Structure 1
Amino acid sequence: MFRNVLCLVLGLIVGMQLTELWDYLMLTGDEYESTAIAVDTAAPTPLAEATLADRLYHETRVLCLVLTMPTQHKTKAAKVMSTWGARCNKLIFLSSQDDVELGAVNLNVTESRDNLYAKVRAGLAYAYEHYVEDYDWFLKADDDTYVVMENLRLFLYPYDPEAAVFFGHRFRTTYPHGYMSGGAGYVLSRDALRRLNLFALNNTKFCPLNTNAEDRQIGHCLLNVGVVAGDSRDELGRERFLPLHPRHLMPRIQSGTWLDKYYYFKPNLSDCCSDSGISFHYTKMYDYDMYEFFLYHLRIFGLPKTPSVLPQRLDYKQMEEKLQYWDQQISDNTAPIDD
């Protein structure tokens, strides 16, 4: 009898404990399920900027050609490779020594300031021979240039890479259309690269062999084969490609510098740079990481975001009108200079 009573009591105790355990599991299960539903149905984190940047990576393909030398392979060139160069669709360093790890090619040109033009000619010939049909735009930059690739692609997106055009920071010279600053970087369309190689580099009348400044001479060669110097300024007339470090331009452009005689378009002295800036020159070793931090990591709460839609692409007629306008766009600056 006692044993039966004991079993009954123990059964009641165990039953009560199991009931409480079941209620607890059901309660926490409901809470967990509610939380899961709330997470699943909550508005997703906006990814428009990243998505558009990824889309442009595939739709506006840029081959980056960076001018360097063996003594800079492990310093500036390495910094380019680990920062903005990693965002190129393809990155090639133009050097006088092969470097498989870096992606540098030996162009068989002796390292010398007087040979920079010959070196860039060889680099653009190399890009044409191996990659002209694989990419849309071909950027030439120095190893002390920093480029915001997302802004470059956004700027290039409306334009047809089969149009004969190149962009950069435009300088004045003896010929009326000017040329693009090499330090700020300049970008050629696919057709511009094609024309340069098919009609200019093998013709000393259109593209003389000399020791002139690389950027000036390449600009001269391009214009001689019908490549138009495009206008890369923003809607407020501010430059996107900057031939100086921002510290030399901000908060406003200072007059009385060597740049004064080279400006093709008179700058707005009170507002130096475009909000959609593309490149900066004279980048120091520590600048690469600083740019990376402020451009890609620092977030400011509450500020407006960048546009979440892409600009309209120009149709054939609109592109032709742009090219004609740029071709006739002669600066109202002072007389051309002989540099």
Structure 2
Amino acid sequence: MISESTSFVKGVLLGGIFCVLVTFLGHIKTGYWTKVRHHEHHHIQAPNQEDVSNLSEVERVELSQSIRVYCIILVKPKDLGHWAAVKETWSKHCDKAEFYSSENVKVFDSIALNTDDMWAMMRKAYKLAYDHYKDEYNWFFLAHPTTFAIIENLKYFLLKKDSSQPFYIGHTVKSGDLEYVDGEGGIVLSIESLRRLSKVFEDPDKCPEQGGMIWKLSEDKQLAVCLKYTGAFAENAEDSEGKDVFNTKSVGSLIKEAMSNHPQQVVEGCCSDMAITFNGLAPNHMHVMMYGVYRLRAYGHDFNDALIFLPPADSDND
């Protein structure tokens, strides 16, 4: 009899705990996901050559000079090899690039955030970038140290985008009801989206610093949760032919996939001609990319680009 009573009590307790958990999860879903459930991301495309050729020379110059990109690279001491490669290669093509590190590292200049948590690092980096540079730059590009970026292609993609609108751009992924920009491919925020984000950072109910769920979200997902309250939703970036331009894999991986899936069209099936990022590169591969993108030329092949984006005036890079 005692045994049966004990089993009954255990059952009641377990049932109660289960009900509380279901209610809690239901509350979380309502608080975090309801507003994004019905949203389908847009497919934002880069301008085609005809769009650009129809611009007057004055318009081209004005547009090219109006796009100013501030690059944020999140790093940790274990990333020193990649850190050095990024510093020596593509980051010099940003209008300004700064490294935000989890702690102070003597061998490289960086802004120490004094936290090892990636979401906390991202929050602090965005907040500092906005506070210091909101009047100087209109686009903010965040990347990991394993990412290689072609900033000129990013500027071309942004050519006719209005930074006073809440753009949140990259390679979009869907996880349950949440659509977010995958951080491995790089994340682009317009100054307006960053302005709104800096405000929502101040509301712990909408954008908690430690996250408000019983499980931990990755930093790129947590960013999407916060941005949904600002009216900025994840937008997938594509070229004029519909190919992704923010890549979460390396060129080598994408070529291997193309050889398996499109053996007759490896080049066409691999990557966009206007690709902006690749990820998962070793430091030496970044230098190879730098050579291929900025130095290697095919003799006799003439490129007639309608626009020219030069590196910053004080850059010692190509």
* TM-score where L is the length of structure 2: 0.69
Q: Would you say the 8 A contact 2:183–2:220 is kept in 1?
A: yes
Q: Would you say the 8 A contact 1:94–1:105 is kept in 2?
A: yes
Query: Which has the bigger relative contact order, CA under 8 A and spacing at least 6?
Result: 2
Aligned to 1:179: 180
Q: Deviations over 1:45-103 (max 9, x none)?
A: xxxxxxx9998774211110001012334x21111111001111111111123358743
Q: Which amino acid aligns with 1:65?
A: I
Aligned residues: 241
* Residue 140 (1) aligns with residue 138 (2): no
Aligned to 1:104: 110
Aligned to 1:195: 196
CA 1:136–1:87: 2 relative to 1, 3 Å? same
Using the TM superposition, give the Cα deviation of residue 121 of structure 1 relative to its aligned residue in structure 2, in angstroms: 0.9
* Residue 61 (1) aligns with residue 62 (2): no
Using the TM superposition, give the Cα deviation of residue 221 of structure 1 relative to its aligned residue in structure 2, in angstroms: 1.2
Using the TM superposition, give the Cα deviation of residue 255 of structure 1 relative to its aligned residue in structure 2, in angstroms: 8.8
State the percentage of identical aligned residues.
29
Q: Distance in 1 between matches of 2:298 and 2:232?
A: 41
Q: Distance in 2 between matches of 1:253 and 1:181?
A: 21
Which of 83, 94, 100 is residue 88 of structure 1 equivalent to?
A: 94
Using the TM superposition, give the Cα deviation of residue 219 of structure 1 relative to its aligned residue in structure 2, in angstroms: 1.6
Q: Distance in 1 between matches of 2:114 and 2:222?
A: 20
Q: Would you say the 8 A contact 1:164–1:227 is kept in 2?
A: yes
Using the TM superposition, give the Cα deviation of residue 291 of structure 1 relative to its aligned residue in structure 2, in angstroms: 0.4
Using the TM superposition, give the Cα deviation of residue 228 of structure 1 relative to its aligned residue in structure 2, in angstroms: 3.1
Q: Distance in 2 between matches of 1:135 and 1:152?
A: 14
Aligned to 2:301: 303
CA 1:108–1:57: 2 relative to 1, 3 Å? farther
Q: Distance in 1 between matches of 2:287 and 2:239?
A: 26
Q: Which protein shows a greater Rg?
A: 1
Q: Distance in 1 between matches of 2:201 and 2:281?
A: 30
Which of 71, 79, 83 is residue 78 of structure 2 equivalent to?
A: 71
Aligned to 1:16: none
Aligned to 2:154: 152
Q: Would you say the 8 A contact 1:56–1:154 is kept in 2?
A: no
Aligned to 1:288: 286
Q: Which runs of 4+ in 1 moved over 6 A?
A: 52-57
Q: Would you say the 8 A contact 1:95–1:104 is kept in 2?
A: yes
Gaps of 5+ in 1: 1-51, 257-267, 311-339
Using the TM superposition, give the Cα deviation of residue 302 of structure 1 relative to its aligned residue in structure 2, in angstroms: 3.5
* TM-score where L is the length of structure 1: 0.65
Q: Deviations over 1:210-255 (max 9, x none)?
A: 2310111112211221013223111221110000111111154589
Q: Would you say the 8 A contact 2:255–2:267 is kept in 1?
A: no
SS at 2:274 equivalent: coil
Q: Distance in 1 between matches of 2:84 and 2:255?
A: 28
